[in-house]
Amino acid sequence: MKKFLAIVMVLCLMAPAFALADDMPVVKIGVFEPASGDSGAGGKQEMLGMQYANKVAPTVVIGDTEYAVELVYADNQSATDKAPSAASELVNQKVSVVLGSYGSGVSMAGSPIFADAGIPAIGVTCTNPQVTLGNTHYFRICFLDPFQGTVLANYAFKEMGAQVAYCLAELGNDYDVGLAYYFQQAFEALGGMVISETFPTGTSDFTSYINNATGYGAGVFFAPCSLAYSTLIVDQAAGLNVNFALMGGDTWDSNMVLEAAAGTNLKILVSTFYQEGGNAEFDNGFKAWLNEDAEAMTNNGGNDIIAAVSVMGYDAYFTALEALKAAGSTDSKAVNEALWNVTLDGVSGAIAFDAETGDAIRDTAYIKTVNTENGAWDFVAVQGVN
């Protein structure tokens, strides 16, 4: 045991020696994303955007020096209790700025660690308002749940004519619970009725919940949950021949949902950040890269359909580069100061931060539906709050 420990410790000390031995100075950007767990698949797609961006722009000029950008990964395992140690790992690696995460709960759990270390973080697709509220180090480039929930409620009530909505959220998942809450607020304000239920983590049998929705006569089944559960819900709803539409938030925008829904007669609607075809240059470049890199292809679920979260990851990376340029230094505190005034004309739209909360000012969401015949996304509408 002693010998073993000794070897381990020696290896630990050697580990940094394996790192880049380039002449160019290195600036480290932390990637705080889930690579395993319920949100692992989504987190990997978000990371793909960052990796592609890193390939497009591998260096950045800060002040007068050109720096190589190194992405440092820490897997938060989609779990709020694992997130703090993943965050400490990034702090320990002395990153200048952090990108992430996919999922609001883990972002909130990692947030205090970054705050203590004075490292700014750019939320990519964490939509819960509490992520940025009351702090000065967490920023975000996506829209928020109150907005997204309202958009979806409006669409369900006005366009689809649903009177009763059934909401299903995972217990203890801040993303789910938050989005369902804001959806409920908006839907009830419109005059509809909402039944809201929760399921425990690790559930795989959703038939009873789907039966509940049928029993209540729901016109729409809103389940803003992790990708792992959404595919299960799609599959089981298809088996039960439901006559309501399924609705999901941005997590549902994934080719895995397409796969599960292909060949069924389900109606599935999702709100998201980006619609493929919005930026041809990005689309083509990204697809070419996926087709070249086998590992990237696997992480994208085996085909080259672009997930909106990849686009957001891409934009987050460039937002970070802009902040580094504006700061003129790799010091995390300077980057934090600079981030407030950063603007970027990103692939997913223009990004500028609200001076109070640090949220990107966004007022549009895309609504897509699954074409169950050819297993692709069909564009439905660009939706604002009104």
Q: Kindly state the smallest distance separating residue 121's Cβ from other proteins, in Å.
A: 14
d(CA 331, CA 333) in angstroms, rounded, equals 6
Q: Kindly state the smallest distance separating residue 183's Cβ from other proteins, in Å.
A: 13
Residue 46 vs 174, nearer CB to other proteins = 174
Q: How many Cβ atoms sit within 10 Å of the Cβ of residue 59?
A: 14
- The span from the first CA to the last CA of the chain, in angstroms, equals 66
Q: DSSP label at 138?
A: E
- What is the 3 state secondary structure string of 141-162? CCCCHHHHHHHHHHHHHHHCCC
Q: Kindly state the smallest distance separating residue 178's Cβ from other proteins, in Å.
A: 8
Alpha helix ranges (H) inside 30-140: 40-56, 83-92, 104-117
Q: What's the order of all strands across the beta sheet hosting 59-62?
A: 59-62, 65-75, 26-33, 97-99, 121-123, 138-140
- Paired tokens of 122: 């750019």
- Paired tokens of 180: 């369902």
Q: Kindly state the smallest distance separating residue 16's Cβ from other proteins, in Å.
A: 10
Q: Kindly state the smallest distance separating residue 77's Cβ from other proteins, in Å.
A: 7
Q: DSSP label at 250?
A: G
Residue 166 vs 366, nearer CB to other proteins = 166
Residue 212 vs 278, nearer CB to other proteins = 212
- HSE-up (13 A, CA, CB side) for residue 104: 26
Residue 188 vs 197, nearer CB to other proteins = 197
d(CA 232, CA 243) in angstroms, rounded, equals 17
Residue 192 vs 346, nearer CB to other proteins = 192
Q: Kindly state the smallest distance separating residue 72's Cβ from other proteins, in Å.
A: 10
Task: Say if CB 113 and CB 91 are below 8 A apart.
Answer: yes
Residue 44 vs 362, nearer CB to other proteins = 44
Buried b / exposed e over 326-343, threshold 16 CB at 10 Å, is: bbeebebebbbebbbebe
- Paired tokens of 68: 């190589």
Residue 58 vs 172, nearer CB to other proteins = 172
d(CA 279, CA 185) in angstroms, rounded, equals 34
- HSE-up (13 A, CA, CB side) for residue 221: 27
Q: Kindly state the smallest distance separating residue 243's Cβ from other proteins, in Å.
A: 10
Residue 44 vs 351, nearer CB to other proteins = 44
Q: Kindly state the smallest distance separating residue 358's Cβ from other proteins, in Å.
A: 15
